[in-house]
Amino acid sequence: MSGVAEMLTISDTQFPSRLFVGTGKFASSGLMRKAIEASGAQMVTVALRRIDLDNPDDDIMQALDRDKIHFLPNTSGARNADEAVRLARLARAAGNTNWLKLEVTPDPRTLLPDPVDTLKATEQLVREGFIVLPYMNADPILALRLQDAGAAAVMPLGSPIGTNQGIQTAMQVEIIIEQARVPVVVDAGIGAPSHAALAMEMGADAVLVNTAIAVAGDPVRMARAFKAAVEAGREAFEAGLGAASKTASASSPETGLPEANLDFIVS
């Protein structure tokens, strides 16, 4: 044991921070930039959309320093594999990167990922040379299938996107972590630093947080709180947590008590 935190590696790239941050829903680009800086995150997700021709100055790329930040375009908005592949190709052309967070969400109400089309799109995009990180439901079998298809990491959800409901899928996420040969990034639903710490204590390799930081009263301080939580959770995992039990186990010595009546202590 070196006592030094292990570095996260995805597809031969090392990331000092295990906190990934999304860039949606921030009140301004300035606030987003400060929050990302405070979070310490290197991996930052972005989406791809038509340029708003009535507001052409609103360019997120001007607010992000690509020398410091590893760009992870997503395919949000894709409802099936074909749409996801199209967005992926556009993202590669626009961003000059082959990294991709694959999202296929046919149902706008739940934004839950389509497992069949996510697998199909992963197979296709891996063939095209993309480094694919698929957003997926917390299904251990699907995680193995995506890994076998060449996914560089898997991104199981804690709860649906933007719900702040935390890790509702803990049992399945634990199995995914236990079985995975690729990094496991818990994505979606992480609403509080404690949720992020829990995922990290479980042995997740990283977490992705967007809404919880972006819509906080003070996004910069919340980003700092998530940074501390992710570091604490990871440190605890690497340190090795004690086993849980139903009955007590005294922390203080159970022998060597003084002979006399101890009433005076409580009186």
Partner 1 sequence: MNIQCNGENRTVDAGATLMDLVTAMDLEPKTMVAEVNGTIIEHSAFGERTLKEGDRVELIRFVGGG
Residues that bind partner 1 (CB under 8 A): 22-26, 32, 45-51, 53, 56, 58-62, 73-74, 76, 89-91, 93-95, 161-162, 188, 208, 210-211
Given a contact cutoff of 8 angstroms between Cβ atoms, the answer to whether 201 and 174 are in contact is no
Query: Phi and psi for 197 in degrees, rounded to 5?
Result: -60, -40
Q: How far apart are CA 208 and CA 219, in angstroms?
A: 15
Given CA atoms 232, 158, 137, 89 in this order, what sign does their dihedral have?
A: negative
- Report the residue number, 74 or 122, with the smaller CB distance to partner 1: 74
- Report the residue number, 39 or 210, with the smaller CB distance to partner 1: 210
> Least distance from C-beta 74 to partner 1, angstroms?
5
Residue 157 structure tokens: 């959800």
Q: How far apart are CA 261 and CA 267, in angstroms?
A: 12
Active-site hit among 68, 101, 120, 246: 101
Of 229, 226, 232, give the one whose Cα is nearest residue 212.
Answer: 226
- Report the residue number, 118 or 211, with the smaller CB distance to partner 1: 211
Q: How far apart are CA 62 and CA 57, in angstroms?
A: 9
Catalytic residue status for 25: no
- Report the residue number, 175 or 215, with the smaller CB distance to partner 1: 215
**Chain-centre distance for alpha carbon 49:** 22
Give the residue numbers marked as catalytic. 101
